[in-house]
Amino acid sequence: MDLKFIDRVIKTTLVLAAALFPFFAIYIKMNFALSVLFGAVWGALNLLGIKIIIISLLVPEKPNWVVGLIILFLKLPVLYFLGYLLATWSYMSIGGLLWGFSGILIVSVLKVLSRTYLGLDKKDTADSHPSPAENKA
Amino acid sequence: MTPETSIGFLLPLAVGVAAVGSGLGLGRAVGAAMEAMGRQPEAAGKIQTAMIIGAAFIEALTIYALVAVMLLKP
């Protein structure tokens, strides 16, 4: 499970939110569909921000302070203020926003479960750390 | 004290408790990850991925608490 996993989670969530948008708009309500979409986009941007901050600042080598601090100051005041505006906008459905925001968490849990079920991480570990018998060979 | 007043006092307190819990959890997670990266720098990518997912989940708890307060506020 490498850092590309996070990008795949973000892409899957956005595609899922976009695919569900017409169904929610037709069968539930337009404001609910928009809330789910905006919630998912907000959650994806939040995860992207967390990822960039962590890979820029929390690294074993020299941290990239400029990128990390720019994203930190964009994420904390700007993204959170946008989230506050979305949550307080009367047209938006709070439940829809929560469903959209939770989408990224649901996708990541399902992806991790599927990786565990398929044994993909064991395969990665076996590839990167060969067994003593393989070392001797 | 009316029920509305007590809710008005308790809701910000609840967000505060959630934020303190999330902060403690995030601090422990990042500390443990940094320690693990210090021991095995070659596994930094995998540790960072797990840390990012963990951080997102921990942060989500505070956001849920905040939204719950916004829904419940009188």
How far apart are the C-alpha atoms of A90 and B51, rounded to whole Å? Answer: 35
Q: Write the DSSP string, chain A.
A: --THHHHHHHHHHHHHHHHHHHHHHHHT-HHHHHHHHHHHHHHHHHHHHHHHHHHHHS-SS---HHHHHHHHHIIIIIIHHHHHHHHH-TTS-HHHHHHHHHHHHHHHHHHHHHHHHHTHHHHHHHHHS--HHHHH-
Residue A135 makes CB contacts below 8 A (sequence gap 6+) with none
Place of tokens 């700007």: A78
Q: What is the pLDDT of residue A129?
A: 56
Amino acid at position A91, single letter: Y
User: For A19-70, how does the pLDDT look when each residue is reduced to its tens digit (9 = 90+)?
Assistant: 999 999 999 999 999 999 999 999 999 999 999 999 998 888 888 899 999 9
Q: What is the pLDDT of residue A125?
A: 62
Could you tell me the pLDDT band of residue B1, with boundaries at 50, 70 and 90? Answer: confident
**Strand, helix or coil for residue B73:** coil
Which residue ranges form the domains of chain B, and what is each CATH number? 7-72 (1.20.20.10)
Q: Which residue of A has its CA nearest to B41?
A: A60
Collect all residues of chain A within an 8 Å Cβ-Cβ radius of residue B46. Answer: 1-2
**Alpha-carbon distance A2 to nearest alpha carbon in chain B (angstroms):** 5
Test A104 with B63 for CB contact under 8 angstroms.
no
Q: What is the pLDDT of residue A132?
A: 55
B63 closest CA partner among A42, A51, A5, A21: A42
Q: What is the pLDDT of residue A8?
A: 94
User: For A82-120, how does the pLDDT look when each residue is reduced to its tens digit (9 = 90+)?
Assistant: 998 998 898 999 989 999 999 999 999 999 999 889 888
Q: What is the pLDDT of residue A109?
A: 92
Test A51 with B52 for CB contact under 8 angstroms.
yes
Collect all residues of chain A within an 8 Å Cβ-Cβ radius of residue B67. Answer: 87, 94, 97-98
Structure tokens at B37: 């990266």
